Amino acid sequence: MKIKNIAYCAMLTTLAMIFGYVEALIPFQFGLPGIKLGVANIVIVIALYLLPAGQVFAIQGMRIILVSFLFGNMSMMLYSLAGGFLSLSIMLILKKTNWFSMVGISVVGGVSHNIGQLIVAAFVVQNLKVAFYVPALLIAGLITGCLIGMLAYKIKPILEQYLK
């Protein structure tokens, strides 16, 4: 990996961590526990379009691990890793098809992130009643994914200019 790409990964990881920290400080309440905007995912969605897949996975993994150790706990890490890697994998697959816009890919990422977390929750609590939470999580993933995708779409050209 070139030094330039290492610097980009470090910068994007740091930016995602800052977004995650700021989001943790601001109490957004969507009425249901565990639902948040996921502002750090702006960085991940943009990185999908600027960097190779392996580097995006590294950014996602480092962000989740570092934010969990610094501002959360092991439970947060478990849920975030499941949701983060499932959503990133699906977003990468969909991006390769060229069938979806950046906003569409972000929406699918938001929904799949919530599904990944719900799968972990089902294993942790050993109860399938968590499935009653699916409609709320799907709606939340749709809304937050759309917002994150629109922001990423607007920010990407600015970041590309800066990185040249």
Summarize pLDDT for 89-98 with one digit per residue, the tens: 999 999 999 8
In the chain, count H helices and then E strands.
6, 0
- Statement: the pTM of the whole predicted model exceeds 0.85: yes
Residues 5-46: pLDDT tens digits? 888 899 999 999 998 888 877 766 666 666 778 888 999 999
Residues 109-146: pLDDT tens digits? 999 998 998 888 888 888 777 778 788 888 888 999 99
Q: What angle do CA 113, 150, 16 make, to 5 degrees?
A: 55
Q: Does residue 12 contact residue 58 with C-beta atoms inside 8 Å?
A: no
Once rounded to an integer, what is the mean pLDDT over residues 81-104?
94
